Amino acid sequence: MPKLYRLHRAALYAAVFGTTVAVVSTASAEEIIIGAATAQTGGLAPYDQPALAGLRMALDELNAKGGLAGKYTVKLIIKDTRSDTAQTATVAQELIDAGAKIMITPCDADPSISAGQLTQPLGIPTLTLCGSAPVLTAAVGDVMFGTYPADNVQATAVADFAVAEGKKKVFLLTSPDSTYTANLPEYFGKVFEKKGGAVVGRGTFTMGQPDFSAEITNIKSLADQPDLIMTAAYEPDFPAFIQQLRGAGVTIPVYGADAIGTPTIKGLGKLVDGVVYTAAGYAEPGSKLEAFNAAFAKYAGHAPESTYEVNGYEIGLILDQAVKTAGSDDPKAIRDAIAGLKDFDGITGKITYAGTDRMPLRPVALMRYEGGEGKHIQTMIPDAADVPAP
């Protein structure tokens, strides 16, 4: 089990298990309740917790200025989903009953869909912290918004890079146990084949049962050996896979996506050298993201460990702009305002929802582990014509 993210300050821990987070407020401000159905424990915690920390930072700053649009002080209520889809639906209903006008859901499609099925009939705008499955919004309806680069966009960026590196043959490793692990490598495969590459083999694994010996034997026995392995496995499965793969003497490069840009994976050191992954941004010198990272370190007492923190922070900024545009705290008006955002100036770059299926158009940073550190390759927005349909 990966280590839990070190959320700052005891007040947050007091808020985690179903109580209300204290907020800075002004006497004249009205109140708006945001419900956060997020994983504080279990396999999604290393993703939800940093994103939630970034969101809290944004809301604390906004509340100090009067709240969303300078008028609506945020009362943030956090409940633990325990990384379980059924529990996510349970706590989402509790948050609705508590009066939530905006819902925040976990960094995964399946629990986010379970929450969205409750918020959709009520018209409550619902934003996933970093769930990236492009099927997410269509599976719920018009209240659901992604906030992170979508899986098919990430996969296209990685495939473009693989082709540019001269890769010709790929082995796809998937798991049917989540939308992310099932679909992202297949999106990669579609783009890779379209651009002249070949899928020479496929394998599957069961999440949480990290014995990869059969798939490693499969890879080693291929007559047509791949020059690349693509997977969307994450903790605890990815560490087990890469350890067993390298232990078996297989040196084929491994590419993944955003879920392996974590302290746990980085902590594997030389074992993950050469592994390519994605992020929501990269802190170039003098950039807004560099400034955010410094501000977050001062706020939380430690530096961000990923770009999930800044993604959570940007959700707060998006909500603030949406309430300004809506001119009220009416959930439908807020939903419509989010859907109409175009070239919104975020921390990592411009963010657009207008004209999309509510999965944002935003940059993708390509990263590679070298010497135990994540090194920036490039930041790009793939050509929309190359992005496979969900």
Taking only the tens place, the pLDDT of each residue in 59-81 is 999 999 999 999 999 999 999 99
Q: What is the CATH number of the domain that holds 251?
A: 3.40.50.2300
Q: Are residues 129 and 190 in the same domain?
A: no
Q: Can you point out the beta strands (E) in 125-197?
A: 126-128, 144-145, 169-174
Residue 215 lies in a domain: yes
Residue 264 contacts by C-beta under 8 Å, 6 or more apart in sequence? 2, 3, 46, 235, 239
Burial per residue of 128-149, b for 16 or more beta-carbon CB atoms within 10 angstroms, e otherwise: bbbbbbbbbbebbebbbbbbbb
CA dihedral 372, 129, 382, 163 (to 10 degrees): 40
> And the tokens for 198?
């070949």
pLDDT at 22 over 50: no
Containing domain of residue 234, as a range?
Answer: 151-279+365-380
Residue 309 contacts by C-beta under 8 Å, 6 or more apart in sequence? 50, 51, 53, 54, 57, 296
Q: Are residues 211 and 168 in the same domain?
A: yes
Q: What's the domain count of the chain?
A: 2
Q: Which amino acid does the sequence have at 91?
A: V
* Chain length of the chain: 390
Residue 322 lies in a domain: yes
Per-residue pLDDT reduced to its tens digit, 182-208: 999 999 999 999 999 999 999 999 999
This prediction has a pTM of 0.86
Distances, alpha carbon 374 to alpha carbons 15, 111, 217, 365, 378, in Å? 33, 29, 29, 11, 12
pLDDT at 4 over 50: no
Q: Are residues 260 and 314 in the same domain?
A: no
Closest by CA position to 131, among listed 93, 176, 181: 181
Q: Are residues 142 and 26 in the same domain?
A: yes
SS3 call for 61: helix
What whole-number distance in Å separates Cα of residue 370 and Cα of residue 73? 44
Q: Are residues 126 and 184 in the same domain?
A: no
Q: Are residues 23 and 130 in the same domain?
A: yes
What is the rounded average pLDDT of the residues 240-247? 98
Per-residue pLDDT reduced to its tens digit, 326-360: 999 999 999 999 999 999 999 999 999 999 999 99
